[in-house]
Amino acid sequence: MSQSIPAPAAAPAAAAAHEFTPGLFIRGIQAPLRLADYRLVAFDMDSTLINIECVDEIAAAAGRRDEVAEITEAAMRGEITDYKDSLRRRVALLAGVPVSAMQQVVDERLQLNPGVETFVRACQAAGLKTLLVSGGFTFFSERIRQRLGLDFARANTLGVYNGRLTGTLQDRPWGDICDGAEKRRVLLEVCELMGIDAAQAIAVGDGANDLPMMGAAGLSIGFHGKPAVREQAMVSIESGGMDRALEILRP
Catalytic one of 37, 44, 206, 210 = 44
DSSP one-letter code for 251: -
Strand partners, 165: 160
Catalytic one of 37, 46, 56, 179 = 46
**Nearest-5° Cα angle at 38, 32 to 233:** 60
Q: Report the distance separating Cα 79 and Cα 72, nearest Å.
A: 10
Q: Is 56 known to be catalytic?
A: no
DSSP one-letter code for 36: G
Q: Is 82 known to be catalytic?
A: no
Where does residue 147 rank: exposed (0-12), middle (13-18), buried (19+ CB within 10 A)? middle
The answer for residues whose C-beta is within 8 angstroms of residue 137's C-beta and 6 or more apart is 54, 55, 102, 155, 156, 157, 158
Helices marked H in the chain — which ranges? 54-61, 65-76, 83-92, 99-108, 116-125, 138-148, 180-194, 211-216, 227-232
DSSP one-letter code for 175: B
Of 132, 120, 101, 97, nearest in space to 205 by CA:
132
Q: Report the distance separating Cα 17 and Cα 231, nearest Å.
A: 8
Of 14, 27, 5, nearest in space to 238 by CA:
27
Residues annotated as part of the active site: 44, 46
